[in-house]
Amino acid sequence: MIDRSALRADALAGLTVALVGLPQCLAYAMMSGLPPAYGLSTAVVAGLVAALAGRSAQIVTGPTNTTGLLVLGALAPHLGPNGVLGPEGLPVLATLTLLAGLIRLVAAAGGGAHLIRFLPESVLVGFTAGAGLLIAAMQVDEALGLTTVTASNLAGELAAVAASLGGIRVLALLVTVGTVAALSYGSRFAPDRPLALLAVIVAASLAAFFELGTAEGLPLVAERAAVPGAWPPGAWPDLDLGLVQRMMVPASAIVLLGTLELAVSARAGGARPDLRREMQAQGWANAIGALASAMPASASLTRSALLRIGGARTRMAPAIAALLTLPILLFAGPLVGFVPQASLAGVLVYTAWRMPDWTAIRRLWNATPETRLLLVVTLAATLLLPLEWAVLLGSGTGLVIHLARTAAPRLRLLKPAGERLVPTLPGEQPDAVVLEVSGDLHYAAVPPFLTEAERLIPDRCRHVVIDLSHAHEIRFTALTALEQLAEEARHDGATLMLSGVDDEMSTLIERSGSALPWQPAEAEPGLSARRALERLRAE
């Protein structure tokens, strides 16, 4: 039996998303160097496939601003003089979209949904802030009514704009400023209205009524790229090995960033989604979209939030949003052609302005030197490097910092005092000590551990216990280092024993044939180390 109340809620939420998403999809496609129709075809195909294949009722899949920047960087060598991809470049687009889908499917099958928790928040915040600044800067030529710039990076955009400042069109600038102002002030008084759509409709209506265009100082969408009232042309992916290799890095960056957007969207409001299933849905959306004139798609943060706010209850809501976009694509193309490029630039500038999380930036900046470094590196890389490398550089820097933090375990030298273990004081030479090891003892952490342990253990000590109760990731390399310490102790006339040995460590000792004496781990803190000392003294 159909739940009419749920269907009504889904239909209203889907309608809102479709209306708000219309100008966004047009703007993101043109920002990516594609004709505007490809933004709508992506919203239809990728949005519908992801809605049917996924499980979450609050995820909208389609063109996004950050993904659009990555697409622009990948397609830049193939764009025409007007900054738009021509028919000869469609196989490249299909290849990029297909790779973005296949990588997602492989990542989902391989547990990739769990990897996103290793990406520091400072990387995400830094990239989002940098992407916002970059999106705004890349709209300067459209905002000023200049000849379209085909640059795919900040330096190229600013250089081209500086060389064309004599051609500024005042009318285009007024439309851009008016759009941003309308969205800024309107969001305060009517935040639940499709303000971006209304602003674009007003601008397009005025342009059509007064017969405005480039000659009058207001370039229109139709003058840059044709907007037929039909499904946009497509092409089969080109599986040439050289092209696949060139597209692999930007496709991987699209997947990484898209997975982050997916996780943020899916977990909003305290939801606990099946991220593996949602990644698969995004993968199929892109893989099928590659064969149906779509650009790479990801979860949209803004449109997904609208579904949640609108009270969507089932996957029918994003599916309805996708289906409602179809008639606009098939029948309203000529009307879309009247949209001024400056009005879409205004929509993007307003979106970019709201992207940075200034509160998070301030907190991360004040938190630790590591978070500050990650924030600055990612932000600078986003502005100065190809965008796909910026994402990977931020992730790689975060990984390096994590490895550096775990490269050396923390050691504390203790001595027995009755029934307790207390820290040794500088210069003390007790005859029995406990070296407490905290942290990872993987292969990279062994050399600093060995050096520090040799420095801390007193020369005149006769009984040494290495307490592993708080040590992790103990492997064969660590075992050989412990054997080396035991041999050095024996050479100095002392004896060494391990304490806090868990089942995994004991198995490693036995299977490797090690002769190291050891004491099993105990639930009571310090008990295993004290018993090891008692055994050493008794022997």
CA separation, residue 452 to residues 282, 430, 437, 445, 481 (Å): 49, 18, 11, 11, 12
Three-class SS of residue 151? coil
Which pLDDT belongs to residue 309? 63
Q: Which two tokens stand for residue 429?
A: 């030479």
Q: Which of 45-49, 265-269, 374-378, 472-476 has the highest mean pLDDT?
A: 45-49
Phi, psi (rounded to 5 degrees) for 417: -140, 90
Which is the CATH superfamily of the domain at 410-538? STAS domain (3.30.750.24)
List residues bridging with 420 in a β-sheet.
Answer: 417
Percent of the residues in the chain that have a pLDDT greater than 90, as a whole number: 38
Q: Residue 529: is its pLDDT beyond 80?
A: yes
Average per-residue pLDDT in the chain?
A: 86
pLDDT in tens, 51-65: 999 888 888 999 988
Distance between CA 500 and CA 523 in Å, rounded?
Answer: 9
Query: What's the order of all strands across the beta sheet hosting 432-440?
Result: 420-423, 410-417, 432-440, 463-472, 495-501, 518-520
Lowest mean pLDDT among 281-285, 384-388, 484-488: 384-388
**Cβ neighbours of 455 (radius 10 Å):** 9
Query: In this prediction, what percent of the chain has a pLDDT beyond 70?
Result: 94
- What was the pLDDT predicted at 535? 92
Point out the least confidently predicted range of 266-275, 298-307, 309-318: 266-275
Read off the pLDDT of residues 80-137 as tens digits, 9 standing for 90 and up: 888 889 899 999 999 999 999 999 999 988 877 676 666 677 877 887 788 788 878 8
Q: Enumerate the H helices of 355-475 as residue ranges.
A: 358-367, 369-384, 387-405, 446-456
Q: Where are the domains of the chain?
A: 4-401, 410-538
**pLDDT at residue 190 greater than cutoff 80:** no
| pLDDT at 258 (0 to 100) | 85
Q: What is the pLDDT of residue 420?
A: 87
Higher pLDDT, 247 or 353: 247
- The model's pLDDT over 447-466, given as tens digits with 9 standing for 90+, comes to 999 999 999 999 888 999 99
Question: Lowest-pLDDT range, 33-37, 221-225, 239-243?
Answer: 221-225
| Residue 530, pLDDT above cutoff 60 | yes
For the cut 60, the answer to whether the pLDDT of residue 172 exceeds it is yes
Q: Kindly state the average pLDDT of the residues 146-159.
A: 71
Question: For residues 528 and 505, is the Cβ–Cβ distance under 8 A?
Answer: no
Report the pLDDT averaged over residues 351-367.
86
Helix axes 154-163, 121-137, angle to 10 degrees: 20
**How many helices and strands in the chain, by DSSP H and E?**
23, 8
Answer whether residue 168 shows pLDDT above 90. no
**Across 474-481, average pLDDT:** 91
Cα–Cα distances (Å) from 48 to 60, 394, 420, 497, 515, in that order, read 9, 32, 65, 63, 63
Q: What is the pLDDT of residue 310?
A: 67
Closest CA to 184 of 199, 203, 169: 199
Residues 533 and 539: their CA atoms lie apart, in Å, by 10
Beta bridge partners of 439: 471
pTM value?
A: 0.69
Q: Residue 149: what are its φ and ψ, rounded to 5°?
A: -95, 135
pLDDT digits (tens, 9 = 90+) for 408-456: 789 999 999 888 889 998 888 888 999 999 988 888 888 999 999 999 9
- Tokens 């764009």 correspond to what residue? 79
Residues 6+ away with beta carbon under 8 Å from 412: 423, 435, 436, 438
pLDDT per position as a tens digit, 10-50: 888 888 788 777 888 888 898 899 998 999 999 999 999 99
Residues 242-267, mean pLDDT to the nearest whole number: 85
Half-sphere exposure of 302 (CA within 13 A, CB side): 26
Residue 471 CB contacts under 8 Å (≥ 6 apart), including other chains: 409, 437, 438, 439, 440, 441, 500
Report DSSP state, residue 110.
Answer: T
* Contact (CB, 8 A) for 148 and 401: no
Q: 185-206 burial, b for 16+ CB within 10 Å, e for fewer?
A: eeeeeeeeebbbbbbbbebbee
Q: How many CB atoms lie within 10 A of CB 121?
A: 16
Most confident of 118-127, 139-148, 259-268, 482-491: 482-491
What tens digit of pLDDT does each residue of 317-337 get? Answer: 899 999 999 998 898 878 888
168 in Cβ contact with 144 (< 8 Å): yes
Its sign, for the CA torsion 248, 250, 254, 257, is positive
pLDDT for 116: 67
Rounded to whole angstroms, the maximal C-alpha distance in the chain is 101
User: What's the CA gap between 229 and 251, in Å, rounded?
Assistant: 30
For residue 102, count other CB atoms closer than 10 A to its CB. Answer: 16
Query: Does the pLDDT of residue 268 top 60, yes or no?
Result: no
Estimate the share of the chain in helix, then strand, then coil, as percent rounded to the nearest 5: 65, 10, 25
pLDDT the model gives residue 142: 84
DSSP string of 205-268, one letter each residue:
HHHHHTT--GGGT--BHHHHS---SSPPP-------HHHHHHHHHHHHHHHHHHHHHHHHHHHG
Give CA–CA dist 505/528, Å, rounded: 14
Residue 312 and residue 18 in contact, taking contact as beta carbons nearer than 8 Å: no
Nearest to 56 by CA among 312, 341, 346: 312
- Residues 6 or more apart whose CB falls under 8 angstroms from that of 320 comprise 10, 11, 13, 14, 15, 18
Residue 478, both tokens: 């660590």
In the predicted model, is pLDDT for residue 205 greater than 80? yes
Task: Return the sign of the alpha-carbon dihedral for residues 497, 502, 503, 508.
Answer: negative
Report how far residue 428's alpha carbon sits from residue 277's, in angstroms, rounded to the nearest whole number. Answer: 59
